[in-house]
Structure 1
Amino acid sequence: AISSRMKTTDELVADLQNGTAQIIVTNRALHIPGAFGFVLGSEKLLLNVPPTHPLFSHKGGLYFKDIAPYSILLYSLIGDWEEVTSEMLPDTHFIVQEDRENFDSLARLSALPSFATDLSIKHYGTQTDAALIPILDEKATMTYHCYIMNKNKEFFRPFREKFD
């Protein structure tokens, strides 16, 4: 059976080593004794900016410091991006939405910018009139690493080959 849970890195490593998990994915490069790892891919954070917003014209890119003074509409279930946005935008006023449908409606109708990623756009789509502006800071790109115990290496070979 496949299941997905948000856990700390230490909990994920312990689960992998004790056999509770056969495969783990994290946004940190790790050294796990008895396991091998590989890069699954990366995700880039973007700012979804409505045409009436002052940042709309900055289509070449923005830094977190450029975004900091503005209020931002934020979906609550953003995983590891929550840590990044909290660290990089500690004084920014976030208007947090817990329901995805409400968030999407507000993002479409509001004059407030919101975050998107290159991966979320593939799943949820984009607003036709908004600008998707890349965030240029290094922390706006997250690389995902997959780890599997060496004893399971052959079993997961077909999975791994999809990412080579």
Structure 2
Amino acid sequence: MNTDQVRHFVAVARTGSVTAAAREQHISQPALSRSIQHLEEDLGVSLFDRGKNSLALNRVGRELLPHAEELLAAERRMRQSSLDASRRERVLRVGTIAPAPLWYLTSLIVERMPGALVSSEMVGDEADAERALFDSLIDLAICTREASGMRSVLLMRESLYLSAPKDHPLAQRESVSFEDLDGETFLLFGGIGFWGDMHRRTTPHAHMVVQEDREVWRQLMRTTRMLGFSSDAPVLVRPDVAGAGASDDDQVERVFVPIRDPEAHATFYLCVREDAYADGGLVRSVIDLVEGLGEGVPGVRA
């Protein structure tokens, strides 16, 4: 007995017709009839009362039909579970407190692990990330500290710079502090994670013009004379100096000034539960990949 025979039996019982069941199952009528006969032989019973031009479930067939439907339902559940497991093996759920380390991690996975996919979400802070890891809502977390009781590996380092028009007074400095920037007006991209809270904390009197659309923000940074922020993250081409979409006459020439405060420099770790790492699979492969970079981690030798 196999599931195809059971499926053919249920189809005939449901439609009441070999012709209709064969059409539904995309097989010939003779092949479907033979499948039913083989099932009856395997079970040692007859399932239908057969007339000259009719086929109807007999008493045994009616008793076995619910079991056949339950078997097919179990098969569907098994196939769905298999599909879900396969997707989990190929899809990494990553929670991050900042965008650049996520973009860097994604670029590594795309380059080194073809076929793997990354599903990401921005989390509020390290506590949220660690809680999501603990509750198995995510597979990996990107934090600015090593997660307590979990496996953590260095992912990258990132430093912020002031992005200022070339003729702005602050552009003449060798470095600046957040105290120097407090009270100024900035064009800020909204999707920067924990960096946004850092800006609000370190420059409480600054006026932040927040743009949520990244492409609009990129274009404005090419043409506006407002101050902004840039990053040395290796996955970023500084969008505020790229020329696409703006003519030479319209584009503002910018200078990038280091920000010397400790808050402007972040070290990011990739964190995972120890039991998830021990289970192997894609999660372990990613952790081992990042850990194996050693001195190749961006910012380590900066």
Q: Taking structure 1 as the reference length, what is the TM-score of the superposition? A: 0.86
- The equivalent residue for 2:290 is 160
Q: CA shift at 1:4, angstroms?
A: 0.9
**Partner-residue secondary structure (3-state), 1:4:** strand
Of 107, 110, 132, 1:15 maps to 132
When structure 1 is superposed on structure 2, of 91-100 and 121-130 the one drifting more is: 121-130
Q: Which amino acid aligns with 1:72?
A: F
- The equivalent residue for 1:42 is 157
Of 185, 189, 206, 1:92 maps to 206
- The equivalent residue for 2:7 is none
Q: Which amino acid aligns with 1:147?
A: C
Judged with a 3 Å threshold, the aligned counterparts in structure 2 of structure 1 residues 148 and 92 are, in CA distance, closer, same or farther, namely same
Judged with a 3 Å threshold, the aligned counterparts in structure 2 of structure 1 residues 19 and 29 are, in CA distance, closer, same or farther, namely same
Q: Give the fraction of aligned pairs with identical amino acids, expressed as a percent.
A: 24
Judged with a 3 Å threshold, the aligned counterparts in structure 2 of structure 1 residues 82 and 120 are, in CA distance, closer, same or farther, namely farther
Higher percent of residues as strand:
1
4+ long deviations beyond 6 Å: none
**Whole-Å Cα distance in 2 between the matches of residues 19 and 106 of structure 1?**
40
Q: Is the 8 A contact 2:146 2:269 kept in 1?
A: yes
Of 92, 101, 116, 2:215 maps to 101
* Correspondence list, 1:7-86, <5 A: 7-8=123-124, 9-32=126-149, 35-58=150-173, 60-86=174-200
**Partner-residue secondary structure (3-state), 2:121:** coil
Gaps of 5+ in 2: 1-90, 92-117, 243-252, 295-302
Q: What per-residue deviation string (whole Å, max 9, x for no partner) do you get for residues 123-152 of structure 1?
A: 444527311111000000011111122231
* Correspondence list, 1:117-128, <5 A: 117-119=231-233, 122-127=236-241
Q: CA shift at 1:121, angstroms?
A: 7.2
When structure 1 is superposed on structure 2, of 132-141 and 119-128 the one drifting more is: 119-128
**Whole-Å Cα distance in 2 between the matches of residues 83 and 30 of structure 1?**
20
Gaps of 5+ in 1: none
Judged with a 3 Å threshold, the aligned counterparts in structure 2 of structure 1 residues 30 and 158 are, in CA distance, closer, same or farther, namely closer
Q: Which amino acid aligns with 2:152?
A: G
Which of structures 1 and 2 has the larger relative contact order (alpha carbons within 8 angstroms, sep 6+)?
A: 1
Q: Is the 8 A contact 1:108 1:127 kept in 2?
A: yes
* Count of residue correspondences: 161
Q: Which amino acid aligns with 1:16?
A: L
* Correspondence list, 1:121-140, <5 A: 122-127=236-241, 129-140=253-264
**Partner-residue secondary structure (3-state), 2:222:** helix
Higher percent of residues as helix:
2
When structure 1 is superposed on structure 2, of 41-50 and 12-21 the one drifting more is: 12-21
Q: Taking structure 2 as the reference length, what is the TM-score of the superposition? A: 0.49
When structure 1 is superposed on structure 2, of 67-76 and 125-134 the one drifting more is: 125-134
